[in-house]
């Protein structure tokens, strides 16, 4: 039996599963023999992935289409997970927009707050309580390397990822004696639908495959990881050794260049 099945049981719930890191989590968990509940907004993409994974790996795959920006999204997911022992929760849904906070649409910013912060809080509380009753489970939060520093032009996005970083680290401590493993993953730029939504270039992005491989290897052994040695060196070095006012300028310049390159490709 695969290590993940022994530790967390046979069912995993993955949000943001229609593309990018979420879809890769679904793929690698299916390879491990885990049955899946996949959630995202795009029902057609979810069903396509579900059919592919079920055929390739002989696992059960259910879909739970849901818009995590909506107040009652949890009901859509609970209807599908009712009666299932969800032993592993992967909070992967998230998005950003690029630009100054005051120029961005406030409803989009609120949707980002709900998807990036409220949804993982609600899901982790809901399914975490069930895991605690069983004395077994795992929860993954997807933060970002920008969780380590404010990032102008991604001001709110960076704040939402700092939220995920903090809640993941704190929850890992609270649950360390409860049979529940909590891991916070802090990827750098990763090839996914994120860049298109954020309006930036995907130059220099990492494949989601090693990001997920690193996370699944670390789950149950560590509480925080930054996939990719270059990301660890760059962002830990920046956050530790470069003064804050200079760091803000570096982030701002990098994000503006990515935005410019993204616009030039359209």
Active site positions, annotated: 157
Phi-psi map region of 250: left, alpha, beta (phi>0 left; psi -120 to 50 alpha): alpha
CA-to-CA distance for 245 and 33, rounded, in angstroms? 48
CA-to-CA distance for 7 and 87, rounded, in angstroms? 8
CA-to-CA distance for 95 and 142, rounded, in angstroms? 11
CA-to-CA distance for 43 and 195, rounded, in angstroms? 21
Three-class SS state of 142: strand
Comparing C-alpha atoms, which of 153, 227, 132 is closest to residue 184?
227
Cα 73 to Cα 25, 92, 140, 192, 253: the distances in Å are: 21, 15, 19, 23, 37
Comparing C-alpha atoms, which of 92, 10, 18, 91 is closest to residue 49?
18
30, 53 Cβ separation under 8 angstroms: yes
């Amino acid at each position: 039996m695969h290590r993940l099945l022994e530790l967390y049981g046979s069912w995993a719930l993955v949000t943001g599963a229609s593309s990018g890191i979420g879809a890769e989590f679904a793929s690698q968990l299916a390879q491990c023999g885990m049955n899946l509940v996949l959630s995202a907004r795009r029902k057609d993409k979810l069903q396509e992935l579900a059919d592919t994974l079920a055929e390739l790996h002989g696992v059960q795959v259910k879909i739970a289409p849901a818009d995590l920006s909506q107040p009652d999204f949890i009901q859509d997911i609970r209807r599908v997970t009712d009666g299932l022992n969800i032993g592993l929760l992967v909070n992967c849904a998230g998005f950003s927009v690029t630009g100054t906070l005051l120029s961005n649409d406030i409803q989009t910013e609120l949707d980002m707050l709900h998807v990036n912060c409220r949804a993982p809080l609600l899901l982790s509380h809901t399914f975490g309580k069930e895991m605690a009753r069983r004395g077994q489970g795992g929860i993954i939060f997807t933060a970002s390397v920008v969780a380590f520093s404010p990032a102008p032009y991604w001001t709110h996005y960076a704040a939402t990822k700092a939220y995920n970083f903090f809640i993941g680290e704190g929850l890992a401590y609270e649950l360390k004696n409860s049979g529940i493993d909590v891991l916070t993953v802090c990827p750098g730029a990763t090839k996914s639908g994120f860049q298109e939504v954020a309006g930036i270039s995907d130059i220099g992005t990492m494949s989601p495959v090693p990001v997920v491989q690193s996370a699944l290897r670390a789950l149950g052994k560590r509480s925080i990881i930054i996939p990719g040695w270059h990301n660890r060196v760059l962002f830990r070095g920046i956050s530790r050794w470069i003064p804050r006012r200079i760091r803000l300028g570096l982030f701002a310049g990098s994000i503006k260049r990515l935005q410019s390159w993204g616009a030039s490709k359209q």
